[in-house]
Amino acid sequence: MEFWIGYLDQALIFAMFAVSLNVLIGYAGIFSIGSAAFGAFGGYSTALVLLGQGMPALPALLIGAVIGGAASLLISGPILKLSAEYVMLMTLSLSILTVTVIVASPQLGSQQGLIGLPLPNFGGSDLLLPSDYVPWLAIFLAVAVAICWIIAESPLGRLLRAAKDDTVAVRSLGKNPLGVQLFTFGVMAAITAFAGGLLVLYNGIAAPSLFSLDQTMLVFAMVIVGGTASLPGSIVGAILIVAVSPVLQQVLKLRPEDSALIRPVVFGLLLILIMRFRPVGLIPERRRVLRPRDATGKGGPSAEEARPTHTGDAAEVAPRKSGERPEPVVVIEGIDKSFGGVHAVRDLSLQLRRGEITALVGPNGAGKSTVFNLITGELRPDAGVVHLGGTDITRWTPERVARAGMVRSFQDLRVFGSLTPLENVVMAGRPHAGENPALLFFAPLRWRRQEREFAKTAAEWLTFVGLDPEIRTATSALSFAQQKQVAFARVLATGAEIFLLDEPLSGIEGSAAEELLALIERMRDLGHTICIVEHSIQAISRLADWGYFMENGTVTAEGRIHDLLADTRLAEAYFGIS
Ligand code: ADP
Ligand code: MG
């Protein structure tokens, strides 16, 4: 019996490795192969503390966890800015390097490891038999899973998922995901380090073989077999993978040497079978999808009632007088941008005036999208300045520009494909206490109330753009027109004053196009300042007050849109009509 319980202990320890890795892979999209490295940091720190200080096991484990978490922060800053492939390479190198350093360090026991550890003592009693460990390991695993669950299934977890889908889009909503990514990486490293400490205590030795690359690959397999973004899946995956050895030896009666040879084959087969027949894993992700409870509890508001109250300062704008133009809110002077040999934008100046719709028109490749990227901070101009309400914002980050009230939509939408439409729009709610690590853990009532409010507002904006807020499928599964509505609602829900819309009508035809046109008019009527890049001449002549024609990166004509369209040379040049 104790034989099997020994494996149960191992499964509980490895489940901690697996759930923490799963939060990184499944939720945050951080493809770390660093489990062994952080496990080793924790394991060796715990062992050194126990040998040197003779303190009880739990504080030693916690010190190991803190050291593991701190070590992760030293390397995660540079790592998280890299693409997934490089994150894998870097964390893999870290794992190999860690073991190499251990083997080369006599102070760390080299190849033989650190021996002579005292018997672990928890709650006043020494742990002797495998069964003595079970309750403690179960408690530690429960705490680890609870922490992982709070991080993953919360507004913070949603921010991680959104950033996994599209970091640029997250930043365009006024949020920088790097902070929560660093936090998550650090906490998961600490949990991994804690598990590494437990592994050392359980084996009574801190040896390099405990933290080999094989172990990391096993943890990876546990996550894949159990199901990514599924915490119960990782626990089941850990039990299954750990059970392979004892099953080979006890049930199939193989000698230990033979079992060790066959084990990798079984793992390989298991992975192939999962990939082939159940790629989502044994216990697939089952996410609690956000519901617009308050907003639709009483049958939902009509489209007219749905106009949200949240329109920022824009609602106070005076009605437009004909003749005299309102004051400029965005002033761009002489901006310039080259990509290598391509001079995409050259000495371009333009203004967006309060409450007006300004059209930016020009052939493909004229530099219109680049202008948006330059205004909103996605790109830095080589020369020139951008002013927003009198403030120089030329060197601001995208999230800062968005927070100041200027938000853009993307030609290629950039919706968060794996989130529902409602979750996409809730992402625009800001600042969200549930996305702040400290408030997430210590002010649950506050962030839950805020979550309900944001969900209500988001549902109203979805209704406003004509989409059912109850849709519970991933946005990537919707039609292009519906995804466009999601993108619109998301931009609107930021509460920004100024909207930059990049080809909002492209790919939309018929009644859907008509609805979107009416929608942009309603946005203007709410008092927003709008700049629109659009190819459809009907749309522009109906919507725009003022137009800029762009060619080869610079403005070649500007004026009232009807005067511009009346100019036959321009009309021919840009629209091919005569
Ligand atoms: P438009 O939106 O008017 O169709 P763009 O602003 O997308 O035009 O592109 C203007 C020019 O700049 C094109 O020649 C395009 O290939 C180039 N360009 C845009 N973005 C980049 C980039 N990130 N790297 C290199 N070239 C780019
Ligand atoms: Mg473009």
Instruction: In the chain, count H helices and then E strands.
Output: 22, 12
| pLDDT of 302 higher than 70 | no
| pLDDT of 58 higher than 50 | yes
Using one digit for the tens of pLDDT, what is the confidence trace for 191-230? 999 999 999 999 999 999 999 998 999 999 999 999 999 9
pTM of the predicted protein model: 0.92
CATH for 328-421+477-575 (3.40.250.10, 3.30.1120.130, 1.20.1050.10, 3.40.50.300): 3.40.50.300
- How far apart CA 330 and CA 423 sit, in angstroms, is 30
Average pLDDT, integer, range 382-394: 96
Which ligand is in closest contact with the Cα of 503? 2
Q: Supply the DSSP symbol for 412.
A: T
Please give the C-alpha separations between residue 377 and each of 122, 171, 318, 360, 494, in angstroms, as whole numbers. 54, 10, 29, 18, 17
Check: CB of residue 441 under 8 Å from CB of residue 154: no
Which residue's alpha carbon is nearest to atom 10 within ligand 1?
Answer: 367
Alpha carbon of 500 to ligand 2 centroid (Å)? 12
Beta strands in 171-306 (DSSP E): none
Beta strands in 80-214 (DSSP E): 121-122, 125-126
Check: CB of residue 145 under 8 Å from CB of residue 231: yes
Token pair, residue 217, equals 């690959």
Residues with CB under 5 A from ligand 2 (ion): 369, 411
| 480 CB within 6 A, ligand 1 | no
| 181 CB within 6 A, ligand 1 | no
User: What is the structure's pLDDT at 475?
Assistant: 97
| 370 CB within 6 A, ligand 1 | yes
Using one digit for the tens of pLDDT, what is the confidence trace for 500-530? 999 998 888 888 888 889 989 988 998 999 9
| pLDDT of 537 higher than 80 | yes
Token pair, residue 237, equals 């995956």
- How far apart CA 558 and CA 549 sit, in angstroms, is 6
Alpha carbon of 499 to ligand 2 centroid (Å)? 16
Ligand 1: atom nearest CA of 340 is 25
| 369 CB within 6 A, ligand 1 | yes
Using one digit for the tens of pLDDT, what is the confidence trace for 11-37? 999 999 999 999 999 999 999 999 999
User: What is the structure's pLDDT at 141?
Assistant: 98
- How far apart CA 180 and CA 404 sit, in angstroms, is 21
Among 139-153, 319-333, 415-429, 444-458, whose mean pLDDT is lowest?
319-333
Task: Report residue 376: phi and psi, to 5°.
Answer: -95, 5
Ligand 1: atom nearest CA of 553 is 10
User: What is the structure's pLDDT at 342?
Assistant: 94
| pLDDT of 276 higher than 90 | yes
Ligand 1: atom nearest CA of 367 is 6
| 337 CB within 6 A, ligand 1 | no
Alpha carbon of 564 to ligand 2 centroid (Å)? 21
| 279 CB within 6 A, ligand 1 | no
CA geometry: angle 491, 494, 499, nearest 5 deg: 50
Question: What is the enclosing helix (H) or strand (E) of 224?
Answer: helix 213-226
User: What is the structure's pLDDT at 575?
Assistant: 61
Confidence of residue 322 (pLDDT cuts 50, 70, 90): low
Alpha carbon of 574 to ligand 1 centroid (Å)? 18
For ligand 1, mutation pick of 168, 335, 336, 339 (most atoms within 8 Å of CB): 339
Using one digit for the tens of pLDDT, what is the confidence trace for 447-483? 999 999 999 999 999 998 899 999 999 999 999 989 9
User: What is the structure's pLDDT at 43?
Assistant: 97
| pLDDT of 568 higher than 80 | no
User: What is the structure's pLDDT at 296?
Assistant: 46
Cα distance from N-terminal residue to C-terminal residue, the chain: 90
Alpha carbon 53 to its chain centroid, in Å, reads 41
| 365 CB within 6 A, ligand 1 | yes
User: What is the structure's pLDDT at 506?
Assistant: 86
Confidence of residue 299 (pLDDT cuts 50, 70, 90): very low
Average pLDDT, integer, range 146-156: 97
Q: Higher confidence at residue 86 or residue 322?
A: 86
User: What is the structure's pLDDT at 308?
Assistant: 53
Alpha carbon of 197 to ligand 2 centroid (Å)? 53
- Domain boundaries of the chain, sorted by first residue: 2-211, 328-421+477-575
Alpha carbon of 365 to ligand 1 centroid (Å)? 6
Alpha carbon of 345 to ligand 1 centroid (Å)? 9
